[in-house]
A and B are shown apart, each in its own frame.
Chain A
Amino acid sequence: MKITVLKTAERKPPPIACPWMIDYPTEKTE
């Protein structure tokens, strides 16, 4: 039984403000 963790939960991206229609610009980081 082999398991390789490719991604842990801590890095979950925030939801997209309007994924269905508007496409707000990505928020730049400081």
Chain B
Amino acid sequence: MFNARVRLPDGDVFLMNTFTDAQLRVSADVAAWLDDCEAAAAAGRPLRRETLRPAERDTADVLAEHGLLVSSREAEREALAQRFDAHRADTTQLRVTVLTTLQCNFACGYCVQGDHAHYDARTGRMSLDTADRVAAWIEGRLDTLRPSSLVLTFFGGEPLLNLPATYALAERLWAACTARGVRLLVNVITNGLLLTPEVVDRLVPLGLNGIKVTLDGDREAHDRARPLRGGQGTFDRILNNLSRIAGRCAITIGGNVETGAIDRYPALLALLREQPFAGSVTKVSFKPVIRNTPGAARQAPVIPLAGLRAGGPATTAAAPAGGSPCDACHFVDDHLDDLREETRRHGFPTPDGLHQGPCEIHRQHAYTIGPDGTLYACPGFAGESALAVGHVEADRAVAHEATARRFARLTPWDRCGDCEFIPVCAGGCVVASHHERGDMTAPTCHKRAFDSALVSLAYETAGVQGDSHP
């Protein structure tokens, strides 16, 4: 069920099982034989080893060893359910994303997180008292779960607008992790405007793992997409700030891709390659801009996550009952695959676009904490008080227990039919489903993007030269 394939130019076939991650190059007759096996099983005539010819028996053994031939679909589905259950219950790593403030000094056109009008206000900003309570709560989780690592990510709003809370949390949790023998990895996801060597130098001894900033294309495109609240550009200042921290820590570059600016990314990559911090860049990753879809049941403000291509929704709903959700999939950003290749060509690591989920919303011990100590299932729901799943203060957490159970039961992949990408997708982004469809239990389908990424992976893994790429 989870076999994916790509026909290669020489007639061979690239086979991948997305559950086991095994990848094989086979001759066309093997692929055809596998099809015959599947058709026979569907007709109630499952494969019987004793009836196979020797060559078929050897083939069956290799395919079975790598998970491309299984005893039944039911067994494969059960194995997947067990893996997702293990993912949900995993305690080896505690992940906490802290929103030190919802305030932001940028006015990105696609951001629907809100608070632009009040970014100077004290509201939406974590106090040091709350930071203390957050740290105490995290320490409690460390004691209960005994993970081997804690990934502490500062996010917002713009987290560097609240450095006192950031430093207080990092310092206290560094001590807490050191005392408990837990590895601490600190991330900062920032717009980059206030990023300084002093900030980095303060956090490096406290376990700084990486800084992530967003650049939406070259200077012109970025300044249009991510200006200051007064409209001024931010590109040059961000690049200058990144140059000043070159060599001090790992840097991740993210880009929110809008259809109209897609041709501006190669220029950005070329420019990045020339920067003094190029050697510190450990990942460059582009994603479609996500917006709330008009007509969706919910229009509450969230982090800019929902995507919409010009002329239609970028992520869409499942198909009507009876069809595969992916049949109705309109999510395509065919350019993302080109951008990934371009990124690699410039020497920057980038995700392959195939090995994705299940994301951390499906992990019980991945938490997002808002500025007032409220817990959310993931950063995409931050600020939506009705969807809070808890609070760092126990007596305030009780009110959210029902919502927490609702999130814990999310299995959007149950509505993905027989899609071969379920093990590496898990139904897509719940935030997008919630905001674009008004139904967080529904999948958000990216199948065409996965198909495209599979082709690239097949050609790369099978050693097919780029000129042959379709």
A residues at B contact (CB < 8 Å): 1-9, 11-13, 15-28, 30
Contacts and interface: CB of A to CB of B under 8 A. Distances in A.
Interface string B9-26: 000101001001111111
A20 B305 CA distance: 8
A1 to B, nearest CB: 5
Given A15-B87, A16-B357, A28-B250, 11 more contacts: A1-B55, A3-B63, A5-B22, A6-B462, A18-B378, A20-B356, A21-B303, A23-B285, A23-B287, A25-B187, A27-B151
A4 B250 contact: no
Interface in B1-60: 12, 14, 17, 20-27, 29-30, 33, 55-56, 58-59
A18 B429 CA distance: 9
A20 B185 contact: no
Contacts of B33: 1
B183 interface: yes
Nearest to B210: A25
Nearest to B353: A19
B20 to A, nearest CB: 4
A26 B282 contact: yes
Nearest to A30: B183
Given A1-B27, A8-B22, A19-B359, A25 B59 contact: no
A26 to B, nearest CB: 5
Contacts of B145: none
A17 B285 CA distance: 14
Q: Top 8 nearest A-B pairs by Cβ distance?
A: A25-B210, A20-B429, A12-B21, A9-B20, A19-B356, A7-B23, A2-B27, A4-B25
Interface centre among A7, A18, A25 (most CB of B within 10 A): A25
Contact of B429 (A9, A11, A21, A23): A21
Contacts of A3: 24-27, 30, 59, 62-63
A28 B187 CA distance: 11
A2 B30 CA distance: 7
Given A1-B59, A3-B62, A20 B431 contact: yes
Contact of A20 (B12, B56, B432): B432
Given A1-B59, A16-B359, A23-B254, A28 B21 contact: no
A26 B378 CA distance: 18
B192 interface: no
A1 B206 CA distance: 56
7 contacts: A1-B58, A3-B25, A3-B30, A21-B429, A23-B254, A24-B151, A26-B250
Given A3-B30, A15-B355, A25 B20 contact: no
Contact of B30 (A1, A12, A21): A1
B461 interface: yes
Contacts of A19: 351, 356-357, 359
A22 B356 CA distance: 12
Nearest to A10: B21
Contacts of A26: 210, 250, 252, 282-283, 349
A17 B95 contact: yes
Given A16-B351, A21-B429, A25-B282, A2 B26 contact: yes
B287 to A, nearest CB: 7
Contacts of A7: 21-23, 461
Contacts of A5: 22-24, 62, 66
B209 A27 contact: yes
A9 B56 CA distance: 22
B155 interface: yes
Contact of A1 (B29, B95, B360): B29
Nearest to A21: B305
B212 A23 contact: yes
Nearest to A20: B429
A3 B186 CA distance: 44
B370 interface: no
B25 A24 contact: no
B159 interface: no
A10 to B, nearest CB: 9
A6 to B, nearest CB: 4
B189 interface: yes
Contacts of A11: 21
B322 to A, nearest CB: 27
A28 B209 contact: yes
Contacts of B20: 9, 12
Contact of A6 (B30, B63, B358, B461): B461
